[in-house]
Amino acid sequence: MSGKVVVVTGASSGFGKLTVLELARRGHTVVATMRDIEGRNATVRKELINAVKAEGHVLQVLEMDVADEASVNSTIELVVMQHKKIDVLINNAGIMPVGVTEAYTVADVERLFAVNFFGAARADRAVLPHMRAAGSGLLVHVTSLMGRVVFPFFGTYSASKFALEALAEAYRYELKSFGIDSVIVEPGPFPSNLLSSSPEPSDESVLASYGEVAAIPGQIKDSSSHAHDSANPPRPQMVADAIARLVEATERRPLRTVVMPEGMDLGVQRLNEAVGPIQNAMLTSLGMASML
């Protein structure tokens, strides 16, 4: 199998970091992107490059801030100039606010969407002209089980992931005739640094008015930090493995791939299976069956 040129956003930690390592080990040409590679992520950059080099592979790390359109466009152009193509884009960059939804100001929500939603929209638009010209490509959108179901205090995060699911699914249909797949990966509750780095809501007066309810998000974070101290903690590598299988698939890929910790079932797969036929029937009735 010939390796593919793969760009991964948000590669400094979590699923992104695991994914770039997995794909590089499989022989793909991987471009890991992140912010501040000369500063706070300089150590991560060196760690990634050395880990792959020790196994006889190569990994490129480039500066890219998905919240900055000029940064996205210039980095994608650099990758195309160096490698002549981009076969796969993995939209993984994201942040997870956990708090009283009303207490997040509009500016707070805009900062969240700048990364979780518009970040992917920018990256998709930057790579798609090259993929359409090539007649092939794959867009992977890492969302969450909270892109399908809603939990209290995750309202703004869920909203960003619901939006990303809609964008990814629309691309699924519109890009089929160009030989491009757009797919969604929905991870369950795996340990990550998302909760520990969760942005707090800015509106203190709203928080004060919620009384004891305002303390619940902090309790959620505390309980989650201790929830995985078992003998068999969830393995986030499962998400990287699922993404790698999608990258290497030769047939048309499924629209949604749910990745839950072993032994856990929150019903997201069943929800997808229930909604799929309704969506397909609607498009068929509108004369769009060829886009499925």
Which residues are known catalytic residues?
157
Q: Which of 208, 250, 237, 201 is nearest to 97 (CA)?
A: 201
Number of H helices, E strands in the chain: 10, 7
Beta bridge partner(s), residue 259: 187
In angstroms, the CA 152 to CA 288 distance is 36
Using the CB atoms, write b or e for 194-206: b if 16+ within 10 Å.
Answer: bbeebbebeeeeb
> Distance of CA 131 to CAs 44, 160, 279, Å?
29, 25, 26
Long-range CB contact pairs, 36-43, < 8 A, 24+: 36/63, 37/61, 37/62, 37/63, 38/63, 41/12
Q: CB of 202 within 8 A of CB of 104?
A: yes
Q: Which of 164, 157, 83 is nearest to 124 (CA)?
A: 164
Maximal CA-CA distance, the chain = 59
Q: CB of 79 within 8 A of CB of 5?
A: yes
In angstroms, the CA 145 to CA 169 distance is 15
